[in-house]
Amino acid sequence: MSKIINLFVAFAVLIFFNACKTGNQSLKLPLEPTQHTVLWEISGKNLKQPSYIFGTFHLMCKEDIVFSENLKKALAGSKKLYLEMDLDNLSNTMGALFCMNMNGNKTLNEFYTPEEYKRIETYFKDSLKMPFTMFNKVKPLMLESMLYPKLMQCKTLSGVEEGLMKLSKEQNKEVEGFETIQFQCAVFDSVPYETQAKGLLRTLDSIASYKKAFQEMLNLYKSQQLGLLD
């Protein structure tokens, strides 16, 4: 699968729970004997209470998002929930709109032949039902992220992090983020636009094989066999 797809579209994020003490003892969760898990406890010498790391996807099919009892217990016994970004912060959610376009007034047609540009334009128009003219200055990595629904075998996607935020708010937990929108924008800009453009075209030309590889990866995640992921 494309490195760019791996990096951005199918990127598994880590959710961090900063735990607190429950009563007079730290929360203890049962161990998973098969080691098939996406929830880990961080505990040990000189740590007064454990913390937890949960591996997930940004988006999944709505029916596939199921939070285990262990995850709910870990969240219930924690003081804070740390996400990749604080999605409650309006500057983060709105700030993404201001870093979509390429710097230097670059346009996509600078990176493609007329035939290549036409292929991309046709795909967005026919498959995504979007007029491509409005995206001519958008970073190719951003456009590639819009292909995410085409890799999924469902029509209704839902945000895993949003689900965790909802649980946290119901329990009056504080939600914070590790990164800012400025940092994430800088990550996009660290990849040369020419490289991004080649990746977008390669993904469009190989969408069927990428979809198959993505589903295999997602199935391994759902069965929590992370050792088989490469």
Structural domain count of the chain = 1
Per-residue pLDDT band at 107 (split at 50, 70, 90): very high
Copy the structure tokens of residue 214: 């993505």
- Chain segment 129-158, per-residue pLDDT in tens: 888 888 999 999 999 988 888 888 888 888
- Number of Cβ within 10 Å of residue 214's Cβ equals 21
Q: What is the mean pLDDT of the chain?
A: 81
Closest CA to 5 of 157, 211, 180: 211
Range of the domain at 205: 3-228
Q: Return the beta strands (E) in the chain as ranges.
A: 12-19, 21-22, 25-26, 39-42, 51-57, 59-61, 78-85, 157-159, 174-179
> How high is the pLDDT of residue 21?
47
| 143 residue type, one letter | L
Q: Which letter does DSSP use for residue 81 in this model? A: E
Per-residue pLDDT band at 199 (split at 50, 70, 90): very high
Does residue 224 have a pLDDT over 50?
yes
Q: Say if residues 143 and 173 touch (Cβ distance below 8 Å).
A: no
Q: Say if residues 141 and 4 touch (Cβ distance below 8 Å).
A: yes
Q: Say if residues 198 and 50 touch (Cβ distance below 8 Å).
A: no
Measure the CA–CA gap between 203 and 218, rounded to whole angstroms. Answer: 18
